[in-house]
A and B are shown apart, each in its own frame.
Chain A
Amino acid sequence: DAGVTQSPTHLIKTRGQQVTLRCSPISGHKSVSWYQQVLGQGPQFIFQYYEKEERGRGNFPDRFSARQFPNYSSELNVNALLLGDSALYLCASSSTNSPLHFGNGTRLTVT
C-alpha cells in the first residue's frame, strides 16, 4: 500500500514569492496534518484538516493557509515567503483518533 506522498520533494523560492505544497494521504485516511520542521528541531504543528474542514491550527501567521479536497488530498500554501520559512514541510495522515503517519516531506529553501 502506498504511504503518504508529498510533492515536490525539493523547492527553491525567492523572498516574497508564493509556494504550494501537495500531499496525498494513505488510502482510507480522512485527516491530513501539516508540520514545519526547522533543522535541529521537532516538527511544529501548522494545520489539521478532517473531512475538508480545518480542525486545528498552530501558531503560524495568516500567510500560511491550507485546504483539503474531496479525495482527502491537501495543499499547503505559503504567501510572501520569508527566509525563515526555509524548512522541511511534513504532511501526515491519520484515521479517527489514530497516530499520524508521515510522508518524507518537501524541503523548501527561500533565498
Chain B
Amino acid sequence: GQQLNQSPQSMFIQEGEDVSMNCTSSSIFNTWLWYKQDPGEGPVLLIALYKAGELTSNGRLTAQFGITRKDSFLNISASIPSDVGIYFCAGQDTGGFKTIFGAGTRLFVKA
C-alpha cells in the first residue's frame, strides 16, 4: 500500500535556528499537505501544494512539492518556542478520496 517516509523522526534545536524536514513516497500524489499537531488537538493545516515544483510560503514556513511528485520538504526559519509540536506530511490522491499521512517529525525548541 501507499506509504510516506518522513524524516527526521525528531529534532532538538535552539530558538532562532532554521529547521528542515522532508517526506518521500513510492507513489505519486497530486497534492502534498503539511500539518502541525499540538497535544490534545487535531492536526492543523499549514501549507497545501498542488503542482509539481511548486514552492509556497506561509510566514516563516516554506514548503515545496517535489518535481517527481514523490516528495516534499518543509522549512521553518528562525524557530520560536511555539513551533514545538508534531509536523505531519500528507499526500492526497486524485479526487481527494484518500489522504495518507507520514509518521510525523517531533520538533523540540529550546529557548
Q: Show the binding face of A for B, using Cβ within 8 Å.
A: 4, 31, 33, 35, 41-45, 48, 50, 55-56, 58-59, 90, 92, 94, 96-105
A100 vs B95: C-alpha distance when bound (angstroms): 13
Partner of B40, one of A4, A33, A96, A104: A104
Interface residues of B toward A: which range?
Answer: 20 to 34
Q: Show the binding face of B for A, using Cβ within 8 Å.
A: 1, 4, 6, 31, 33, 35, 40-45, 48, 88, 90, 92, 95-104
| Smallest Cβ-Cβ distance to B40: which chain A residue | A104
A101 vs B33: C-alpha distance when bound (angstroms): 11
Contact, CB under 8 Å: A59 / B1: yes
Contact, CB under 8 Å: A99 / B48: yes
Contact, CB under 8 Å: B43 / A45: no
Contact, CB under 8 Å: A48 / B98: yes
- State how many angstroms separate the Cβ of B11 from the closest Cβ of chain A: 16
